[in-house]
Structure 1
Amino acid sequence: MLLGSGVALVPWLVVLATTLPSTAQVGHWNVAWVGLDALEAVGLVATGLLRRRGDDRHRLTAAATCALLVVDAWFDTVTAAPGAELAAALAMAVGAELPLAALCAVLALKRAPGTRRTGPEAADLTSGTWPTTG
């Protein structure tokens, strides 16, 4: 289903690329950006708190926050006006958003010390056996 959905999006991307205007007037622009930055803040705080507790679920919040930060950097730079606004957007992307996204990606992919594996991913895949609990 996911693979098919991804492939089905390709023609839609062509439609968007050929029909969307290059500029638009947008209502509630400030709400959109404040909302995105608020989600990033919640993601960073949640990831930090979960990781501090040794809770392996920090990997989930780190992955989501990584995606939000990359999207923020992308939209900041592609919607910025040329000149000082674009320079500021690039500075934020390179100096803050993308480095934080990279850190979140590392946290999402690497287990914190002291966490233990549970569930199907804890299986010994080389032997083809699943862990037992009793």
Structure 2
Amino acid sequence: MELRGGVDHGPGQPGRLQRWASTALVVAGLALLPWLLVLAGYLPGGSGPVQWTTAWVGLDALESLGLVVTGLLLARGDTRRCLTAAATATLLVTDAWFDTTTASAGEAGAALAMAFCAELPLAAVCALVACRALPDRGR
């Protein structure tokens, strides 16, 4: 079963929903790239055991890579997208969790807005892509 707007169009003929989702995932992944530069300049560097800049920029870089690769695999109709989509959904939910639970009082609103307007909706799309790409086992 594939994400094709509820209709199986056959190989090489993605449906409108599949094209929309693949484009949205790639665009979202590419949109994260400038954010990585902002994040790298904004976060305190830290020294010793806590390297916040490395941790947060690394997490967002993995999310960006996951979104782009998932979108490209979806556009190609490649069922391996279930792997990248599941991993990316997990990263996005983890990011939303840590953003909201570690935000200071002054940053809580922005963290919640990012979680509910970007990270969690993208995680839901990735989860849907992952579930729809699972092989049909005779059901």
Aligned length: 92
Equivalent of 2:89 in 66, 89, 101: 66
Query: Which residue identity lines up with residue 130 of structure 2 in the other structure?
Result: A
Greater relative contact order structure (CA < 8 Å, 6+ sep): 2
| Structure 1: stretches of 5+ with no match in the other structure | 1-24, 126-134
**Segments of 4+ moved more than 2 angstroms:** none
Structure 2: distance between partners of 1:111 and 1:102? 14
Q: Distance in 2 between matches of 1:89 and 1:103?
A: 20
- In structure 2, runs of 5+ residues without a counterpart are 1-47
TM-score (norm 1): 0.64
Deviation at 1:26, TM superposition (A): 5.9
Q: Which has the larger radius of gyration?
A: 1
Q: Kindly indicate whether residue 116 of structure 2 is the aligned counterpart of residue 101 of structure 1.
A: no
Correspondence for 2:111 among 78, 89, 95? 89
What amino acid does structure 1 have at the position aligned with 2:115?
A: A
Deviation at 1:49, TM superposition (A): 0.7
* CA RMSD between the two structures: 1.9
Instruction: Measure how far apart 1:28 and its partner are.
Output: 1.2
Q: Which AA in structure 2 matches 1:96? A: A
Letter in 2 for 1:28: Q
**How far has the Cα of 1:111 moved from its partner?**
3.0
Q: What residue number does 2:55 align with?
A: 32
Residues 5-50 of structure 1: per-residue CA shift (max 9 Å, x gap): xxxxxxxxxxxxxxxxxxxx96210110000000000000010111
Partners of 2:130 and 2:114 in 1: CA distance: 22
- For residues 67-114 of structure 1, give each alpha carbon's deviation from its aligned partner in whole angstroms, at most 9, with x where no partner exists: 00000000000000013x0111000000100000000010000139xx
Distance 1:49 1:111 in 2: 14
User: Structure 2 length normalisation: TM-score?
Assistant: 0.61
